[in-house]
């Protein structure tokens, strides 16, 4: 996973994300933004799942599937 | 306090073409079917389960029959067994007054077993075994013949039971639609239909009583029916004057569409599918224009899909969620294409059993079969679904529970929501005995050691 790309992204509090390298823009929801923050803090995937479980009403199974799915999406968009 | 969890999403922004119709076909949730909570149905009958509404069937039938009979005085309707021949469904139709329209010896026997008298059965189809023709003639069924070989076969059957039997002929014609259904019946334009009548009228054991046609399926243009009625009435006149006989009935079959979305169509069914009244107008108005009141024959419609399709749903359950390598979201549900024959040509309406938050995305719904072809819905616009979410697919009442196939799993229950809101199991789920019952193992194959 290449997290260097994350540092060049312009991310607004409302969830608008702009990639100045490609010119593409994206929208993410609050949970997605939180994962972005944790990735930028260089947290491991397991750490990210633990943080989300502490902060949100969710289960380990659900968050595990969702974080994996979200990161797959970021790879698909070449954002990491 | 912890915050409410909403599944994370990210979506790339693309400039697309706006949909000027503003209809999102696959968006929505449904907590109940005809007043019965989805959870109650799955608790009682399991998942997947086909659900059929008695109330909707009766309403649809009454609406169509009332409209037709108000327009044409000798209107009759015959239930197309092949569309859905579950006993409970057929019984509703017969209670409403529909006769039975069957297309095989099996369907004929099923109607008789249910208590339909032979003279209230229309026997159609391109293949009728000679034994079944003997029974049908003996019991006074309406038999519509398909080809010249069948005329000869019918003659033999009538002779065998020492009877001069009444028959009809099925005809096909150009009604301006493509593809033209020319494989069933005798063609009108090349005179084959008239020659068939000539052959029947010269027979010692047969005589002509009716003309049948069925111009296509899921027809979206009612003008084709106007053309069919016009051509059949002209044929009737020609036959009556040439052979000095009176045609007792005309049968215009079915083919009216339901509110299902045909694959490859752009518009949603609410826009693309004309109301059923438009088709009945086409038949009845043309009859009234073409016929004099003293020559009104009985006129049958064999409407199947337009009555039953929207009275059926399938409840299934999401068993797994998968992101495909190309980024497409996919779900695996517990009902496959073996149960959903009509998934070949329809994009079903997909509803979920609860309100879910999150970004909607186009998703593929796969069935549980270990087969690459098991794609139930190619593209459904869905929010992120957790495992265990119930998906309600519709319209589901036509053709699925007749054309479904037992394959690697048991076929599920079919439930009916009765008019009073109670629920009944009208077909129980299959068991191992149901599947292996007809099998036999040769003696030498019975033992093995591993």
B100 inside domain:
yes
Both B274 and B348 in one domain: the answer is no
- From the candidates A15, A32, A36, A70, which should be mutated to test the interface with B, based on the most B CB atoms within 10 A? A32
**B13 to chain A: nearest residue by CA?**
A26
The pLDDT assigned to B150 comes to 98
Helix axes B223-243, B276-290, angle to 10 degrees: 30
Contact A31 B2 (CB under 8 A): no
- Which of B94, B124, B58, B22 is closest to B397 using CA atoms? B58
B139 inside domain:
yes
The pLDDT assigned to B23 comes to 47
pLDDT above 80 (res A19) = yes
Peptide bond into B77 cis (omega under 30): no
Q: Which residues of chain B have pLDDT under 70?
A: 15-27
φ, ψ of residue B170 in degrees (nearest 5): -90, 135
Both B332 and B413 in one domain: the answer is yes
- Which of B246, B232, B138, B234 is closest to B185 using CA atoms? B232
Which positions in chain B touch A48 (Cβ < 8 Å)?
none
B439 inside domain:
no
Q: Which residues contact B382 (CB under 8 A, 6 or more apart)?
A: B26, B329, B331, B350, B352, B360, B361, B363
Both B213 and B64 in one domain: the answer is yes
B399 inside domain:
yes
Determine the Cα–Cα distance for residues B219 and B216; give it in Å rounded to an integer: 6
Check: CB of residue B258 under 8 Å from CB of residue B342.
no
Both B368 and B347 in one domain: the answer is yes
**A76 to chain B: nearest residue by CA?**
B327
Per-residue model confidence as pLDDT tens digits over B118-149: 999 999 999 999 999 999 999 999 999 999 99
Check: CB of residue A72 under 8 Å from CB of residue A66.
no
Both B68 and B47 in one domain: the answer is no
Domain that holds residue B42: 32-51+311-429
Both B96 and B182 in one domain: the answer is yes
Both B256 and B141 in one domain: the answer is yes
φ, ψ of residue B320 in degrees (nearest 5): -155, 155
Both B234 and B162 in one domain: the answer is yes
Whole-prediction pTM value?
0.87
Q: Which residues contact B357 (CB under 8 A, 6 or more apart)?
A: B6, B7, B383
Per-residue model confidence as pLDDT tens digits over A25-45: 999 998 999 999 999 999 999
pLDDT-derived band at A80, boundaries 50, 70, 90: confident
The pLDDT assigned to B9 comes to 87
Percent composition of chain B: helix, strand, coil (DSSP 3-state, to 5)? 35, 25, 40
Q: With an 8 Å Cβ cutoff, is A58 touching chain B?
A: yes
Of A26, A31, A35, which has the smallest distance from its Cβ to B11's Cβ?
A26
Both B254 and B367 in one domain: the answer is no
- Which of B374, B287, B362, B333 is closest to B75 using CA atoms? B287
Both B364 and B245 in one domain: the answer is no
Both B254 and B233 in one domain: the answer is yes
Both B342 and B417 in one domain: the answer is yes
Question: What is the number of domains present in chain B?
Answer: 2
Mean predicted lDDT score pLDDT of chain B: 94
Interface of B with A (CB under 8 A): 2-13, 321, 323, 326-327, 358-359, 384, 386
Contact B8 A34 (CB under 8 A): yes
SS3 call for B71? helix
The pLDDT assigned to B16 comes to 57
Which CATH number characterizes residue B155's domain? Answer: 3.20.20.10
Contact A62 B5 (CB under 8 A): yes
B20 inside domain:
no
């Amino acid at each position: 996973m290449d997290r260097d790309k994350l540092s060049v992204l312009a991310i607004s509090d409302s969830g608008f994300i702009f990639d100045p390298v490609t010119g593409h823009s994206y929208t993410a929801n609050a949970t997605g933004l939180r994962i972005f923050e944790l990735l930028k803090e260089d947290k491991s995937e397991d750490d990210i799942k633990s943080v989300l479980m502490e902060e949100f009403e969710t289960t380990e199974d659900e968050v595990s599937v969702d974080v994996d799915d979200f990161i797959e999406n970021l790879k698909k968009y070449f954002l990491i | 306090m912890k915050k409410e969890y909403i599944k994370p999403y990210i979506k790339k922004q693309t400039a697309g073409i706006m949909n000027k119709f503003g209809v999102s076909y696959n968006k929505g949730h449904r907590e109940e079917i005809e007043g019965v909570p989805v959870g109650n149905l799955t608790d009682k009958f399991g998942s997947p389960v086909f659900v059929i509404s008695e109330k909707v069937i009766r309403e649809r039938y009454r609406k169509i029959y009332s409209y037709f009979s108000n327009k044409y005085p000798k209107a009759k309707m015959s239930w197309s067994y092949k569309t859905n021949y579950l006993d409970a469904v057929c019984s509703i139709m017969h209670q409403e007054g529909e006769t039975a329209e069957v297309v095989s010896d099996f369907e004929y026997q099923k109607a008789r077993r249910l208590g339909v008298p032979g003279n209230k059965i229309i026997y159609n189809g391109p293949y009728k075994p000679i034994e079944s023709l003997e029974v049908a003639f003996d019991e006074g069924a309406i038999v519509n013949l398909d080809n010249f070989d069948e005329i000869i076969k019918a003659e033999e059957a009538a002779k065998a039971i020492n009877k001069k039997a009444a028959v009809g002929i099925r005809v096909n014609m150009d009604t301006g639609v493509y593809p033209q259904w020319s494989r069933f019946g005798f063609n009108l334009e090349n005179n084959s239909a008239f020659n068939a009548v000539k052959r029947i009228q010269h027979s010692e054991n047969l005589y002509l009583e009716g003309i049948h046609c069925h111009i296509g399926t899921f027809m979206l243009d009612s003008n084709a029916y106007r053309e069919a009625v016009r051509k059949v009435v002209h044929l009737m006149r020609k036959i009556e004057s040439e052979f000095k006989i009176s045609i007792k009935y005309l049968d215009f079959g079915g083919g009216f569409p339901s509110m299902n979305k045909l694959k490859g169509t752009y518009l949603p069914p609410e826009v693309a599918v004309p109301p059923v009244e438009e088709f009945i107008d086409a038949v009845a108005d043309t009859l009234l224009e073409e016929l004099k009141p003293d020559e009104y024959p009985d006129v049958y419609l064999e409407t199947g899909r337009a009555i039953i399709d929207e009275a059926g749903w399938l409840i299934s359950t999401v068993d797994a969620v998968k992101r495909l390598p190309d980024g497409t979201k996919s779900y695996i549900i517990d009902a496959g294409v073996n149960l959903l024959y009509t998934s070949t040509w329809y994009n079903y309406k997909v509803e979920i059993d609860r309100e879910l938050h999150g970004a909607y995305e186009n998703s593929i719904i796969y069935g549980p079969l270990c087969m690459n072809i098991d794609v139930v819905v190619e593209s459904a616009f869905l929010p992120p679904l957790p495992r265990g979410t119930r998906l309600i697919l519709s319209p589901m009442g036509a053709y699925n529970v007749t054309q479904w196939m037992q394959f690697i799993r048991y076929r599920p229950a079919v439930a009916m929501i009765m008019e009073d809101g109670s629920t009944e199991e009208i077909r129980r789920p299959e068991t191992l005995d149901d599947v292996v019952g007809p099998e036999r193992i040769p003696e030498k194959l019975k033992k093995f050691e591993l």
